[in-house]
Structure 1
């Protein structure tokens, strides 16, 4: 009988891949590797979200040559991706440090305010600064912070009127307004009032203080509500804006 053929020796590339997988799957390195993964995810998400938005807004509403517009799209995409990646790294890193320094639950356990502190540090470091040359707040950063702020306000508004559920151990929101009957009534009417107030305010600001609105919002509103007031023939009434 012939002796069995031994399996081929793994190549250097396969050995390196196996070693890398052992490190990645080792729980000892999980928290540190999560920081690297967060940076990757932040950059990818930022690019995916910003690129189509910048492409549409710049090419539809911004003047300039093709190369100038392409440069604006690239810069906005890069800035958004970099900022989300930087914030993810700082946030995860601060959470890691706080967790391993020890908190109310002791070293290795997350404290009740670790995420708040990490968010404060990341928000200040990444989104709290101004442009080095212009001294102005970057428009991309304004858009991200305003987006987050709007979601925070909506969440806090919902939390304020959230009824208590003793059986589930869920605390209610603010006194009186979180009573089930009052909460249901506020929830029913709050959104129409909020939507009406928001649009009324932004249209008033656009009419009398347009310079205070964000540039992308101002550009789109100029296109829709201001440039629609003028034309000199069928060509720029239907087929072209100007």
Structure 2
């Protein structure tokens, strides 16, 4: 058998295997791991690139290593979480013979504890990102279920007012309570813009404050 024929045979066998219904749950777990790894890399790589070159000091090699490490950590964690979540969901459904709403909550709780429970910069950013989305979703759900009345006016302007008022108050008064990346962004915008010596660091580049 020639190499092309062998390749066609292998692809035919694999494709037939992927169509087997009895293996669907297990294969979905593996596909979830793959999608988690790819999505994590796609999300983290550009973010790490921008934030590292904007705010991190050091050589080019140091910066590239930091970008690679952040991308790998995000990709690995998301892949492991999806693998754990989908695996536990499938296991619960198999044991109880049907799918329940509690299955997703319990599976995600276990996955969150195992994968995103370590307190580091990557996990902190991901968890806070999710928290903001959860609060929005719960507010919408409360209105949908009738627990709170439908606002007569768009509440978004009030929301924006409170968010920006609170975060700038914290930054000016208790900056140590904010996440390091947010502190860096705030310093660049509000503190470093108070410092310049000539036209070069007024328009061309940023001259950071000298630490006290």
TM-score normalised by structure 1 residue count: 0.82
* SS class of match (1:113): helix
Alignment of 1:5-154 (within 5 A): 11-102=5-96, 107=97, 109-129=98-118, 137-154=119-136
Q: How far, CA to CA, are the matches of 1:12 and 1:231 in structure 2?
A: 68
RCO comparison, higher one (Cα < 8 Å, 6+): 2
Asked if 1:229 corresponds to 2:194, the answer is yes
Report the equivalent of 1:173: 146
**Superposed CA RMSD:** 1.6
Q: 2:140 aligns with which of 133, 158, 167?
A: 158
Structure with greater helix percent = 2
Output one character per residue of 1:176-219: Cα deviation in whole Å (capped at 9) or x when no partner. x33xxxx131xx24211111111111111111222221121111
Q: What residue ranges of structure 1 are gaps of 5+ in the alignment?
A: 1-7, 130-136, 163-171
* SS class of match (1:161): helix
Q: How far, CA to CA, are the matches of 2:101 and 2:63 in structure 1?
A: 46
Q: What residue ranges of structure 2 are gaps of 5+ in the alignment?
A: 208-212
Q: 1:184 aligns with which of 151, 154, 171?
A: 151
Output one character per residue of 1:17-48: Cα deviation in whole Å (capped at 9) or x when no partner. 11111110111111100001000000100000
Report the equivalent of 1:165: none
Deviation at 1:11, TM superposition (A): 2.1
Structure with higher Rg: it is 1
Report the equivalent of 2:169: 204
The total of aligned residue pairs comes to: 206
TM-score normalised by structure 2 residue count: 0.93
* SS class of match (1:232): coil
1:62–1:219 CA contact under 8 A, matched in 2: no
Q: How far, CA to CA, are the matches of 2:151 and 2:159 in structure 1?
A: 16
Structure 1 stretch displaced more, 25-34 or 215-224: 215-224
